[in-house]
Structure 1
Amino acid sequence: MADAQLFEETFTITSINADKYDRVSRLHGASADAALTFTLDINHELFPCAVGESINLVLATTLALDGTTKEGAETSWRTVSRQGAATLADLFDYVCYGKNYKFEDADGASETAKYYASFGGLLLYIEGPYRKLNGLKIDEIYMLVKRV
């Protein structure tokens, strides 16, 4: 499981903006050490959140508990769950599949990197030290979120 998880961090939600869309809120927050900040669009009907609440966010390449990926196998977490097999998704409250669309490396003047992903139009942006975000340079990813 550790090989499949590229990123894991606990964030505290500092603000929520639900003004633009009916079912989508834009969360803003920071990690406990304040090294990372994030912005996340989330369906608040499926996963309601509040300011001050802490969430655990994981980015993984597969939902298989052993971290393996099988060529040509069905990768949908819903299909796997219907087959009775346990998945990483079973351990979280909110799961999305999406694509990384941009990664801005740290430049010479700063060690800060910026990571962008889209989950069916719901966006994730993380900014922080390059060493914490370096492993996120892949195309497809699962985002898993749960309350702490």
Structure 2
Amino acid sequence: MSDPLLFEDTFTITTINSQKYDRVSRLSCNSTDNFTHFTLDVNSELYPCAVGESVSMALASTLSLDGKDESGNKGWRDVGMGEQTLANDYDYVCHGKVYRFEEGSTQGNMAVFISFGGLLLYLEGPYKKLAPLRIDYVYLLLKK
């Protein structure tokens, strides 16, 4: 089948804002090459972070390792015991809807907006890297 990963990069956490909500922190991160950056709301009880930490982020169309589409089949929570998925390699996983695209702040960049049940992701980077995200639903996968 195809590769389930649509985007993958390593980022450094530059700022954390925990002032607005009790259990939600807004992370601002820059990629190691400084071409891509994101702002992400995370559940800080489930995934505590600190400024300066390195985080690997991936966005995938499916959690299936062989890239099979899960729609119409079982849901992601119905994975059998012992069955391997992309989620096994990550610490924090969310499923969300891509709801908006914009031109980026610099020439050749684009911005992608994704909602994970109200926890938002704003991702900006080179069009070439983010073009595969022009789909309806994605999985967010994070690990330190």
Q: Give TM-score, length-normalised by structure 2.
A: 0.93
Q: What does residue 26 of structure 2 align with?
A: 26
Shift in CA distance, 116/84, structure 1 to aligned 2, threshold 3 Å: same
Shift, 1:130, TM fit: 1.0
Partner Cα distance (1:106, 1:18) in 2:
26
Partner Cα distance (2:127, 2:21) in 1:
32
The number of equivalent residue pairs is: 144
2:128 aligned residue (131, 134, 139)? 131
Amino acid in structure 2 at the alignment position of 1:103: F
Shift, 1:75, TM fit: 2.4
Structure 2: tracts of 5 or more residues without a match? none
Shift in CA distance, 70/20, structure 1 to aligned 2, threshold 3 Å: closer
2:97 aligned residue (93, 96, 99)? 99
Percent identity, aligned pairs only, is: 55
Shift in CA distance, 65/21, structure 1 to aligned 2, threshold 3 Å: same
Amino acid in structure 2 at the alignment position of 1:39: T
Shift in CA distance, 36/85, structure 1 to aligned 2, threshold 3 Å: same
Runs of 4+ more than 6 Å apart = none
Shift in CA distance, 58/41, structure 1 to aligned 2, threshold 3 Å: same
Shift, 1:106, TM fit: 5.7
Let me know the Cα RMSD of the aligned residues. 1.8
Q: Does 1:116 align with 2:113?
A: yes
Structure 1: tracts of 5 or more residues without a match? none
Partner Cα distance (2:78, 2:15) in 1:
35
The 5 Å alignment of 1:1-148 reads 3-76=3-76, 78-80=77-79, 82-105=80-103, 110-147=107-144
